A and B are shown apart, each in its own frame.
Chain A
Amino acid sequence: MDKHEEFKKSVTIIYKGFVVFFAFFGIIICFLIYLVVDPTFSAFKSDETPAYTVAEDLDEDRIENGIHVRTGLVEAEGLMQVVNNCTNCHSALLVTQNRMDSERWAATIDWMQETQNLWDLGKNEEIIINYLVTNYPVQKKGRRQNLETIEWYELEE
């Protein structure tokens, strides 16, 4: 029994030794990795706002919740063709405000090509128009709509 206890003890000591060794080793590794990422320890200088943190925002085609963040366009087939061809001169807001069928979008593209210096879209024209009519479809409004999105408030006079 004694021998067994002794053996158990020494195993525990060796085990603890290993844990301490690997923990120490792990900390060193973490430190070295951090040193590579942030050699100036800027994360600990709390008051400074490093000018280059904006670099995180530079993924200009980032998508969040199905929306292309830079333009506000819906992520769907044809998105990048729209981004690359339709947001150079004017904002995407001019695109998403409008609701047209294929024929009228095609006419609008023709007009932009004739008068606004838009280039030949080639194969992309069909992709772009499909994207627009699919993701920004025409909705019927009738001759007068209900008043919508009313925020009710108590009127004090």
Chain B
Amino acid sequence: MKRRNFLKKAALTSLTTLVGTEIVFGNLIPEGYSPLFLQDPDPFKMFDKDTRMSVLNDKPWNIEAKAHLLDEKVTSNKFMFIRNNGIIPQDIDINNWTITFKGESVSQEKTYTLNELKEKFTQHTYQLTLECGGNGRSEFDPPAKGNQWTVGAVACASWTGVRLRDVLEDVGIKGNAVYIGYHAADTHLSGDPNKEPISRGVPMAKALQDETLLAFKMNGEDIPLAHGYPLRLVAGGWPASASGKWVNGISVRNKVHDGNKMTGTAYRVPCDPVEPGAKVKDEDMCIIESMPVKSLITYPRTGAVLSNKKTLEIRGHAWAGELEVAKMEYSIDFGSTWNACSLEKPINRLAWQHFSAKVTLPKEGYYEIWARATDTNGKSQPMVLPGWNPKGYLNNACHRIAVKVG
């Protein structure tokens, strides 16, 4: 509540400065009418999010879930994290929404309306895991710059759209195509109309995958505004920043796309491992592609007390970027011993997988249940933080919950 009041006040005061320090004719404002700048700034209402979500940043909006809020097999909007780089576009006219394909490597520049996309190409639906590259950043030492995500910047919703590949084939791409980059309708925080808040992309191989969609539906409905209404890219298993929202353009490039947040240190990690706190030159930073293997215990919520029993069911999800999760284990003794969880196959490639286990705790006391996933290449989640990197990406350290018996 405090935060909400704070946000309300913050929005109120910062916006009133736009119209001057006093509301002239304030007493003439009709009863019951709240001026535009006073209208509900409550992010939970505005974005239809559960009030247990954590607001990390209100300009731009960045909101994350908590582990136990992600218990659903398919994530609902109300529990889906928001990661914005700029200002959400306003006054979207769905009937005049277009997407233009251009760049060095298209045979011809071509524009489609949203309706043309929907009618001309076959529609596909996939459950796709989207995780922010910086999920888990808050644990890095020395601290890494950016939004201090804990565990909740991940979701797996059901996305419906057309394959980017089908559209690219219709546009016609040249043999020298290397990368696609998206362009979108959000605006830069500085207000500069010549700057794109973010314009990232993926190599052609990823762009041409079956599951890489130009999506217009999430969980069977129009995509919520904060998640890219009316059209977004979805490239599951890669940093979610590759899945551009409010997309109105695709550049097919003959080189690695150099849009905003593709270059410098953004969404890059040192090509070779570095010591914590090291300074790394831009040219020694490499673009993140597939996200690493990871898992979350979504039930029970951390802090469970078992008074009359010593067993409990745990469950959660595991994912591995481009790969599948091959093995899921839990430990009740800080990793000394590991026990197998039952693990489901993914419903489709790039969807997270569900695991469960029945845990028995030997005697009274404090326990931590740790979860560890292993991918099909044999790579497991580390128990401590993985390699430090300047921007704090790719923290896939084991998730854990606290449990007490007695």
A60-B16, A70-B14, A157-B313 known; A143 vs B143 contact (CB < 8 Å) = no
Q: Which residues of B sit under 8 angstroms from A115, Cβ to Cβ?
A: 260, 264
State which residues 172-200 of B face A: CB under 8 Å: 188-192, 195
- Tell me the complex Cα distance, A47–B323, Å: 62
CB distance from B344 to the nearest CB of A (A): 21
Most chain-A Cβ atoms within 10 A of its Cβ — which of B55, B57, B307? Answer: B57
User: Which of A4-12, A15-23, A91-99, A122-130 lies at the binding interface?
Assistant: A91-99
Within the assembled complex, what's the spacing in Å between the Cα atoms of A107 and B23?
A: 40
Across-interface contacts of B59 in A (CB, < 8 A)? 89-91, 93-94
In Å, the complex CA distance between A63 and B12 comes to: 16
Chain A residues with CB under 8 Å of B306's CB are 155
Indicate if B362 sits at the interface (CB-CB under 8 A): no
A97, B384: Cβ atoms closer than 8 Å: no
B142 and chain A: residue at smallest CB distance: A138
Would you call A154 and B22 a contact (CB within 8 A)? no
CB of A58 within 8 A of CB of B141, answer no
Give, as a whole number of angstroms, the nearest-CB distance from A3 to chain B.
Answer: 63
List residues of chain A with CB within 8 A of the CB of B379: none
With A and B bound together, what is the CA distance between A105 and B378 in angstroms?
A: 39
Please state if B307 and A154 are interface contacts (CB–CB under 8 Å).
yes
- Which residues of B128-161 are within 8 A (CB) of A? 139-143, 145-148
Q: What 0/1 readout, one digit per residue, does chain B (1-35) give for beta carbons within 8 Å of chain A?
A: 00000100110111011000111001101110100
Say whether A72 faces chain B, with CB atoms less than 8 Å apart: yes
Q: Cβ of A49 < 8 Å from any Cβ of B?
A: yes
Among B304-344, those with CB < 8 Å from A are 304-307, 312-313
Given A52-B27, A117-B195, also A154-B9 (CB < 8 A): no
Residue B302 at the A interface, CB < 8 A?
yes
The CB with the most chain B CB atoms within 10 A, among A50, A55, A138, A144, is that of A144
CA distance A72 to B23 in the complex (A): 24
Which chain B residue has the least Cβ–Cβ distance from A153? B303
Complex Cα distance A16/B278, Å? 85
Which of chain A's residues have a CB closer than 8 A to the CB of B145? 98, 100, 104, 108
Whether the pair B190, A51 counts as a contact (CB closer than 8 A) is no
Of all chain A residues, the one with the shortest Cβ separation from B385 is A143
A116 within 8 Å of B (CB atoms): yes
B383, A90: Cβ atoms closer than 8 Å: no
Quick check: B9 and A142 within 8 Å, CB to CB? no
Question: CB-CB < 8 A to B191: which residues of A?
Answer: 89
Taking the complex as formed, is B400 at the interface, i.e. its CB lies under 8 A from any CB of chain A? yes
A118 to B192, CA, bound (A): 11
Q: Is the CB of B31 within 8 A of A116?
A: no
Please tell me the number of chain B residues within 8 Å of chain A, measured between CB atoms: 60
**Do the beta carbons of B141 and A142 come within 8 Å of each other?**
yes
**Neighbour of A98 across the interface among B30, B58, B148, CB < 8 A:** B148
| Chain B, residue nearest A97 (CB) | B148
Question: Known contacts being A98-B148, A138-B142, A142-B141, is A150 close to B56, with CB within 8 Å?
Answer: no
Contact check, A154 vs B305: say whether CB atoms are below 8 A apart: yes
Contacts of B30 in A (CB 8 A): 51
Q: Assess the A52–B23 pair: CB atoms within 8 A.
A: yes
Contact A147 B29 (CB under 8 A): no
Interface centre among B55, B190, B368, B384 (most CB of A within 10 A): B190
Chain B residues whose C-beta falls within 8 Å of the C-beta of A48 in the assembled complex: 31
Instruction: Select from chain B the residue with minimum beta-carbon distance to A94.
Output: B57
In Å, the complex CA distance between A87 and B368 comes to: 40
Alpha-carbon distance A118/B188, docked complex (angstroms): 12
CB distance from A141 to the nearest CB of B (A): 4
The contact of A157 among B148, B190, B312, by CB within 8 Å, is: B312
Q: Does B404 contact A (CB under 8 A)?
A: yes
Q: Is B78 close to A, CB under 8 A? A: no
- Find chain A residues with CB under 8 A from B9 CB: 57, 69-70
Give A residues with C-beta under 8 Å from B. 48-52, 54-55, 57-58, 60, 69-72, 87, 89-91, 93-94, 97-100, 104, 108, 111, 115-118, 138, 140-145, 147, 150-155, 157
* A-B contact list, 27 entries, CB within 8 Å: A51-B26, A51-B30, A52-B23, A52-B27, A54-B12, A54-B23, A55-B23, A60-B14, A60-B16, A70-B9, A70-B10, A71-B10, A87-B14, A94-B57, A97-B56, A115-B260, A117-B190, A117-B195, A140-B141, A141-B141, A141-B143, A144-B384, A144-B385, A144-B397, A147-B302, A147-B368, A150-B302
A93-B59, A117-B195, A143-B384 given; 5 more Cβ-contact pairs under 8 Å: A58-B16, A72-B6, A99-B143, A141-B141, A143-B141
